[in-house]
């Protein structure tokens, strides 16, 4: 039986460590602070940001939720970022993506003070990460490393294949794995004979944004599968392609009309030695690492 890597349990462990760090900082008169900027009324973003704000409250981190209207301009957002950069009680600035079409997302992310860039998206932090220097790393890739380490999965000397080359997950995940002495291959939608490459992976990271893209024949028996994808399925035919015969999932789908599937086909997990489930795998780590980054930013800004 393949081993399930419980992201929720690992996230809880990290949050407990963060809470202990917050307590130590409080003894020195320091309270880490996170500003969360949520533009407009996108339901999924609202749920996600609320969970981040709640995590701050649970761990003793100060949070400020700022909610500009969906009609906000790039200039107004840049002015807001400038204000947050100047606020000393704010250690981390989180801008929930996606932003409305009229807002220049790249300009906005570039305007964040790199010392407060808790998402790790700023080019300065990306450069520091590549150079192996202290930096705020993107939360999901950092969470992947924590899952592997805390689950006792060897990284050094292993062949890690990352499917997906986004600036948010694929590229930084590859760089973090490289820093852990893995031999890393990055694949993407234009990679030829993709299955031949993925079958060589001791650690296979799926972050391509396509439901069930990694199939059983693409997986090396006994490999560790890290499934970053979160895809909502509403079509019954597509649901049947992934979960036919799964009574629990079928009951849930009949009740809700939707379910989540990752970038790995569920049948591929049976080939693996260990895997992260969807939901409950990589997802919980993203918020836990955001909390950890906020505390790291508070310490680094004060030279601690």
pLDDT of 159-181, one tens digit each? 999 999 999 999 999 999 999 99
Q: Which of 287, 253, 266, 290 is nearest to 4 (CA)?
A: 266
- Per-residue pLDDT, 26: 97
CB count in 10 Å sphere of residue 92 = 30
Q: Which of 125, 69, 67 is nearest to 95 (CA)?
A: 67
Tokens of 276: 């992260």
For 70, residues 6+ apart whose C-beta sits below 8 A from its C-beta are 39, 40, 41, 100
**How buried is residue 111: exposed, middle or buried, by Cβ count under 10 Å (0-12/13-18/19+)?**
buried
**DSSP-derived secondary structure letter, 168:** T
- Per-residue pLDDT, 232: 93
Give the residue-averaged pLDDT of 207-236: 96
**DSSP-derived secondary structure letter, 163:** E
pLDDT-based confidence at residue 41 (cuts at 50, 70, 90)? confident
Tokens of 293: 């980054």
Give the residue-averaged pLDDT of 144-172: 97
Is position 235 annotated as part of the catalytic site?
A: no
**How buried is residue 52: exposed, middle or buried, by Cβ count under 10 Å (0-12/13-18/19+)?**
buried
Instruction: Please report where in the chains the tokens 């009949």 appear, as a residue.
Output: 254
Per annotation, catalytic residue among 91, 113, 117, 119: 119
pLDDT-based confidence at residue 183 (cuts at 50, 70, 90)? very high
pLDDT-based confidence at residue 213 (cuts at 50, 70, 90)? very high
Q: Is the pLDDT of residue 56 over 90?
A: yes
Is position 52 annotated as part of the catalytic site?
A: yes
Q: In Å, how far from its chain's centre is CA 213?
A: 19
271-280 tens-digit pLDDT: 999 999 999 9
Give the residue-averaged pLDDT of 191-205: 98
Give the residue-averaged pLDDT of 198-211: 97
Q: Is the pLDDT of residue 230 over 90?
A: yes
Distances (CA, A) of 228 to 65, 115, 168: 27, 26, 11
What percent of the chain is modeled with pLDDT above 70? Answer: 100
Q: Is the pLDDT of residue 4 over 90?
A: yes
Question: What average pLDDT does the structure give for the chain?
Answer: 96
Q: Which of 232, 183, 226, 189 is nearest to 208 (CA)?
A: 189
Per annotation, catalytic residue among 96, 116, 171, 180: 96
Residue 266 phi, psi (nearest 5): -55, -30
pLDDT-based confidence at residue 7 (cuts at 50, 70, 90)? very high
Q: Which of 222, 15, 175, 35 is nearest to 113 (CA)?
A: 35
Give the residue-averaged pLDDT of 227-239: 94
Give the residue-averaged pLDDT of 225-243: 94
| Domains in the chain: ranges and CATH | 14-135+286-301 (3.40.50.10860), 139-281 (3.40.50.720)
Write out the H or E segment, with its range, that includes residue 66: strand 62-66
Q: Is the pLDDT of residue 302 over 90?
A: yes
Residue pair 39/96 in contact by the 8 Å Cβ criterion: yes
CB count in 10 Å sphere of residue 265 = 22
- Per-residue pLDDT, 196: 98
Is position 116 annotated as part of the catalytic site?
A: no
248-298 tens-digit pLDDT: 999 999 999 999 999 999 999 999 999 999 999 999 999 999 999 999 999
Distances (CA, A) of 247 to 71, 88, 244: 45, 53, 8
Per annotation, catalytic residue among 52, 116, 171, 220: 52
- Per-residue pLDDT, 130: 94
- Per-residue pLDDT, 195: 97
């Amino acid at each position: 039986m393949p081993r399930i890597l419980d992201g929720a349990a690992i996230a809880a462990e990290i949050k407990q460590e963060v809470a202990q760090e917050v307590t130590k900082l409080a003894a020195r008169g320091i309270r880490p602070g996170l500003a969360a900027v949520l533009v407009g009324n996108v339901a999924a973003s609202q749920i996600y940001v609320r969970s981040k704000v709640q995590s701050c409250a649970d761990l003793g981190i100060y949070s400020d939720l700022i909610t500009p209207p969906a009609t906000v301009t790039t200039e107004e957002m840049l002015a807001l970022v400038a204000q947050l950069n100047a606020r000393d009680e704010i250690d981390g600035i989180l801008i929930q993506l996606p932003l409305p079409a009229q807002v220049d997302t790249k300009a906005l992310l570039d305007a964040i003070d790199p010392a407060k860039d808790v998402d790790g998206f700023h080019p300065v932090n990306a450069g520091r990460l590549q150079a192996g220097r202290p930096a705020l790393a993107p939360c999901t890739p950092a969470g992947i490393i924590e899952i592997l380490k805390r689950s006792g999965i060897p990284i050094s000397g292993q062949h890690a294949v990352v499917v997906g080359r986004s600036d948010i997950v694929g590229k930084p995940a590859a760089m973090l794995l490289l820093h852990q002495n893995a031999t890393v291959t990055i694949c993407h939608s234009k990679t030829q004979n993709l299955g031949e490459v993925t079958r060589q992976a001791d650690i296979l990271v799926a972050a391509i944004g396509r439901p069930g893209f990694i199939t059983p024949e693409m997986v090396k028996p006994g490999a560790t599968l890290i499934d970053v994808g979160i895809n909502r399925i509403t079509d019954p035919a597509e649901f049947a392609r992934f979960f036919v015969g799964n009574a629990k999932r079928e009951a849930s789908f009949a009740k809700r009309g939707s379910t989540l599937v990752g970038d790995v086909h569920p049948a591929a997990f049976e080939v693996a030695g260990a895997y992260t489930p969807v939901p409950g795998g990589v997802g919980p780590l993203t918020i836990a690492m955001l909390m950890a980054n906020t505390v790291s930013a508070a310490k680094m800004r004060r030279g601690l």
